[in-house]
Copies of this chain bind each other. A is one copy, B any other.
Amino acid sequence: MNEVLGHPSTKLDDVVHQRVRLGILAILSEADRVEFTYIRDRLAVTDGNLNRHLQVLAEAGFARIEKRSQGRSRTWILATREGRAALGDHLARLQQIIDATKELS
């Protein structure tokens, strides 16, 4: 690809960009760790759907799933350092697209 000609959208990583996963990473950036059910409810997705997207993030090294039992069992999700950096990079690229489009209007 011609770097001068290229468009910033070509640098967006689908692992982060996909709507539900972008939501997950944004929510995870709000705290050290977040409960599975809290993410599910904020994103209005099913358990199965959330699990599938968490799996993709975990495989990319961007999120970790921790099951803890203290009385009742809870599943906690946290973003790794790499996941937080990937979100930051991604949002910077989106900002670039927004700014370029704004300049035109």
Residues of A within 8 A of B (CB): 1-2, 5-7, 9-10, 12, 14, 17, 19-20, 22-23, 26-27, 29-30, 41-44, 87-88, 91, 94-95, 97-98, 100-102, 104-105
Contacts and interface: CB of A to CB of B under 8 A. Distances in A.
Nearest to A92: B98
Contact of A22 (B2, B9, B95): B9
Contacts of A104: 29-30
A89 B41 CA distance: 24
A12 B17 CA distance: 11
28 contacts: A1-B41, A1-B44, A5-B41, A6-B44, A7-B23, A7-B26, A7-B27, A7-B43, A9-B19, A9-B20, A9-B23, A10-B23, A10-B42, A10-B44, A12-B19, A14-B19, A22-B97, A26-B97, A26-B100, A29-B104, A29-B105, A30-B104, A87-B101, A91-B97, A91-B101, A94-B94, A94-B98, A95-B95
